Amino acid sequence: MPHTAATLVYDIRNSRYLNITGRCTLRCQFCPKHNGSKQVHQYQLDLKRQPSASEVIALLGDTAQFDEYVFCGYGEPTLNLATLLCVAKEIKARGGKVRVNTDGLGNLFHKRNILPELAHCVDSLSISLNADTADNYQMHCRPKLTGSYAAVLEFITLAPRYIASVQVSAINGLSGVNIDACRQIVESAGATFKQRELNIVG
Ligand code: SF4
């Protein structure tokens, strides 16, 4: 049955997903949030507020039961950085693994390099690139901050220096986007490329 209350944690396969913000630095035209759906699988992910670390920690469950904890949801987790760092440290202290799904704009938003802070408590990063040019990025991701495409490129280059596993994705099927050019950008930055397919979530 669909949940009507906002969901802070939800499970997909053997991972527990943590939804810590409804805010985002992008307004992707392919985002389900902008296409009338606030649900992934059966979960209602639209958050009106930024949950505190203690609210999320209370919902972690037994870390031994999950392959990893993934900061994800319908918002950009680095926009609730205090909660992200505090919860991630707790997961690590309990022996769990942490992945953060991000648009790679955390440094631009916070006006500093947040990677050293993430490096203490994050095992892997999944960064959405989604475009091979600034124009395509503008068209598909509709960033709220100027300089976003340059910022995500810089983040992708910096991230492997701090985080052991960095995966960067683009979506095959977005009009005008050259998926091979995206792969090239990612691999030359020393990260791993992941090709996604349009309309497949989770
Ligand atoms: S980054 Fe994710 S949550 Fe934000 S607008 Fe794009 S698809 Fe939606």
- Model pLDDT for residues 18-61, shown as the tens digit of each residue: 999 989 999 999 887 766 655 555 556 667 778 999 999 999 99
CATH of domain 9-197: 3.20.20.70
Residue 24 near ligand 1, beta carbon < 6 Å: yes
| Averaged pLDDT for residues 81-108 | 98
Residue 2 banded pLDDT, cuts 50, 70, 90: very low
> In the chain, where are the structural domains located?
9-197
* C-beta of residue 123 within 8 angstroms of C-beta of residue 112: no
| Averaged pLDDT for residues 130-146 | 96
3-class DSSP state of 80: helix
Q: Which residue among 19, 23, 28, 201 is best mutated to probe the pocket of ligand 1, counting the most ligand atoms within 8 A of its Cβ?
A: 28
Residue 74 near ligand 1, beta carbon < 6 Å: yes
CB neighbour class for 47 (10 Å; exposed up to 12, middle 13-18, buried from 19): buried
DSSP label at 118?
H
**25, amino acid identity:** T
